[in-house]
Structure 1
Amino acid sequence: MELNASVSAVITGGASGLGAATARALASHGVKVALFDLNAEMGETLAKEIGGVFCRVDVCSEGDVEAGFAKARAAHGQERILVNCAGISSPGKTAGRSKEDPSVIKPYSMANFERVLQTNLVGTFRCIVSSAAGMLTLDTREADRGVVISTASIAAEDGQMGQVAYTASKAGIVGMTLPIARDFSSEGIRVNVILPGLFNTPLVARARDVVKNALSASVPYPKRMGEPEEFASLAIEMCRNSYFNAATVRLDGALRMAPN
């Protein structure tokens, strides 16, 4: 796919971190970008910076997603690129003992488990369905009618203790990528997924230096956390390279996470 001003994109979780870096990278090629996020202040600021549009969207809400795509398409036309970066985490063991009193057993909250899956997995699928349905209306002679890129995590393959909900949600994203790509194989819509490792996102930036240094040291090479711009670079290549389809790509500096 040639990236230029004739192409529009929607990025979920686009107000910060990996999503924001991808938005800036796409916009630098002239692509018209719509940002879906809950943080209106950051989203509006970034949209103004890149000449895009912000849509306040909770990916768990069918109504929000429908309204977001309607607003984005009214501003930029039918998107040909969807990048799913919206996601949350809620750490906790499946069942564990209280640190204060080991005789007290604490099961993982089912409400939290469902919330993580609804946001990360169901929310990603909801946006893919809505975006791809719109892409199917495009009458294009190009090889690529559209491109979908979702964000999983290396936790999908080597989840650690306390990551059960997050790992389940990200493994689900990986698992659905191939069948979705096959569903659209005759329609010219490609579907890929990136599995980032440790990245210097706003969540990590709030950690103490000693924690960040330890995380960086755990990466084989290069011994640092990834930068959001490196994620964006891979997303750009997945858009431009038409042979990227149903690809599951780790971006992690050769990191394989230990059990804890």
Structure 2
Amino acid sequence: MTSPSLDRRTALAGAAVTLSSAASAQDKLPTVLITGASRGIGFGLATKYAERGWTVIATARNPSRSEDLQALAAKHTNVRPETLDVTDLGQIDTLAAKLRGTPIDVLINNAGISGGAENQVFGQLNYDAFDSVMHTNVLGPLKIAEAFTEHIAASGQKKLINISSTEGSLGSISRRPDYRNYFYRASKAALNMEMVNVAKAVKDKGITVLLLSPGFVRSDFTAGIDLPIMISVDESATQCMDVIDKATIEQSGMFFNQRGEPGIW
């Protein structure tokens, strides 16, 4: 007859193994870091990855002030809000140091600004706004790519995704009659070029670098615009994630739309 104490020890040992296995499984879940995750496409992606069970490092300039992001973190314990202003190079270095030793499977450079249409009227261009757009949309993503290269290289998936736009496509814009969004268009064209270079720089580390246009999305970014071609944040995030999931090292340095179709440079 088995003694009660032996049964108890066996049960405890079994429970310990179960907990250990669960912890091990948790440790193996992929991690995604998303900049500008407090609203719009960034928040949509953070929500989708959280629902998938990934560890989500959701960065924003003031995450504590984002009710949506705080609610998402309260609902999903795998969501980790972090403060990050992508125009502050010191903050980028600080977060990279804080996350040292944390493999990041997918890093999504999403944070961006348009610069305001009122600041981009030829003859009345606001060059302070131009500086802000370039710092946010071009300098920030490049610094983040550099600061987090080793985090990405240490992961299983090794993907650096950059949210671009057909607004930065010379081929697309040259066919349009309008002349506007000088700053935003210039910033996305610059982002495309710099990330093609980054793709070459990190190829030997096995990192896949993609430029991804999320589509014409209804969000705070496009407030006041209503066109038939526009899609919801949820639809855009779902489609973008599918492209990211399927991305391969052979596609590194390429530009795609949210449906996975090659973009026009």
Answer whether contact 2:114 2:221 (CA < 8 A) is retained: no
- In the alignment, what sits opposite 2:51? 28
| Cα offset, 1:77, TM superposition | 2.5
CA shift digits 1:147-172 (9 cap, x unpaired): 01111111112454221110010111
| More helix by percentage | 2
CA distance in 1 between partners of 2:53 and 2:247 (Å): 19
- Tell me which amino acid in the other structure corresponds to 1:61: D
1:201 to 195, 211, 219: 219
| Cα offset, 1:49, TM superposition | 3.0
For the pair 1:46 / 2:72, whether they are aligned, the reply is yes
- TM-score normalised by length of structure 1: 0.75
- Tell me which amino acid in the other structure corresponds to 2:73: A
Alignment of 1:78-93 (within 5 A): 78-90=103-115, 91=117, 92-93=119-120
CA distance in 1 between partners of 2:29 and 2:161 (Å): 19
| Cα offset, 1:201, TM superposition | 1.1
CA distance in 1 between partners of 2:239 and 2:195 (Å): 17
Aligned length: 222
Answer whether contact 2:102 2:151 (CA < 8 A) is retained: no
- In the alignment, what sits opposite 1:175? 193
CA distance in 2 between partners of 1:24 and 1:154 (Å): 25
CA distance in 1 between partners of 2:35 and 2:72 (Å): 13
CA distance in 2 between partners of 1:134 and 1:151 (Å): 19
For the pair 1:66 / 2:72, whether they are aligned, the reply is no
Task: Specify which structure has the bigger relative contact order, considering alpha-carbon pairs within 8 angstroms and separated by 6 or more residues.
Answer: 1
Answer whether contact 1:34 1:47 (CA < 8 A) is retained: no
Answer whether contact 1:15 1:46 (CA < 8 A) is retained: no
- TM-score normalised by length of structure 2: 0.74
- In the alignment, what sits opposite 1:103? none
| Runs of 4+ more than 6 Å apart | none
CA distance in 1 between partners of 2:151 and 2:28 (Å): 19
Answer whether contact 1:19 1:85 (CA < 8 A) is retained: yes
- Tell me which amino acid in the other structure corresponds to 1:195: S
- In the alignment, what sits opposite 1:113? 130
Instruction: Decide whether aligned partners of structure 1 residues 49 and 94 sit closer, same or farther in structure 2, where only a CA change above 3 A counts.
Output: same
Alignment of 1:1-260 (within 5 A): 6-40=29-63, 41-42=65-66, 43-51=69-77, 52-71=79-98, 73=99, 77-90=102-115, 91=117, 92-93=119-120, 95-96=122-123, 106=124, 108-136=125-153, 138=154, 144=157, 146-157=158-169, 158-159=172-173, 160-204=178-222, 206-207=223-224, 211-212=225-226, 215-216=227-228, 219=229, 225-243=230-248, 244-251=251-258
| Cα offset, 1:50, TM superposition | 3.0
CA distance in 2 between partners of 1:5 and 1:47 (Å): 20
Structure 1 unaligned runs (5+)?
97-105, 220-224, 255-260
Answer whether contact 2:35 2:59 (CA < 8 A) is retained: yes
SS at match of 2:149: helix
| Cα offset, 1:87, TM superposition | 0.5
- Tell me which amino acid in the other structure corresponds to 1:10: L
Instruction: Decide whether aligned partners of structure 1 residues 63 and 93 sit closer, same or farther in structure 2, where only a CA change above 3 A counts.
Output: closer
Structure 2 unaligned runs (5+)?
1-26
| Cα offset, 1:179, TM superposition | 2.1
SS at match of 2:162: strand
